[in-house]
Amino acid sequence: MQEKDLEAILTYSRESNSRHAITGLLLYGSGHFYQILEGSKANVHSLLERIRRDNRHVDLTVIAERDVEERVFPKWWMGFRSLGPSEFADDPAFHNIRTASDLLKIPGAGDKLFKVMYAMYTSLP
């Protein structure tokens, strides 16, 4: 993935998300995307279907889905951080959680991955 490709994805995503009241976070590292989406169930599911139909995506896996009282990212139409190889390799959450069935093997894995993602994003200089 080239930097210009990431920039194009972010520009489109932020514009589209603002129109559909979707907020969230996107991390990219070692050829993988990790994303958290917040919004109405209908809007998030519609976005997921668009992503599934996009031939640039393969092996899309929803790790966890839940209702929340309030958004964690209320002002981020799509927060983004690109992870370097060492950052990606440093946390086993990115290696141990690839499918929904992986969540069953690791108690609290979905929450752990969320916390890791949030911490990595908020640690930006």
Q: Can you give the CATH number for the domain in which 55 is found?
A: 3.30.70.100
Q: In which domain, by residue range, is 31 found? A: 3-122
8 Å CB contact between 60 and 67: no
Residue 66: alpha-carbon gap to chain centroid: 14
For 1, residues 6+ apart whose C-beta sits below 8 A from its C-beta are: 28, 31
Give dist(CA 65, CA 31) in Å, integer.
Answer: 23
Give me the chain's average pLDDT, please.
80
pLDDT of 87: 67
Does the predicted TM-score (pTM) go above 0.85?
no
> What share of the chain in percent tops pLDDT 90?
26
Pairing label, strands 23-29, 79-82: parallel
Distance separating alpha carbons of residues 118 and 73, to the nearest angstrom: 10
Is 80 exceeded by the pLDDT of residue 30? Answer: no
Alpha-carbon gap, residue 101 to 120, rounded angstroms: 24
Q: How do residues 46-66 score in pLDDT, each as one tens digit?
A: 999 999 998 888 778 787 788
Give the model's pLDDT for residue 39.
Answer: 95
pLDDT in tens, 97-122: 556 566 556 666 566 667 767 776 66
Tokens 């997921």, located at residue: 48
Residue 32: the pLDDT is: 79
Which pLDDT score, from 0 to 100, does residue 72 have? 85
| Count: domains in the chain | 1
Write down the pLDDT at residue 50: 92
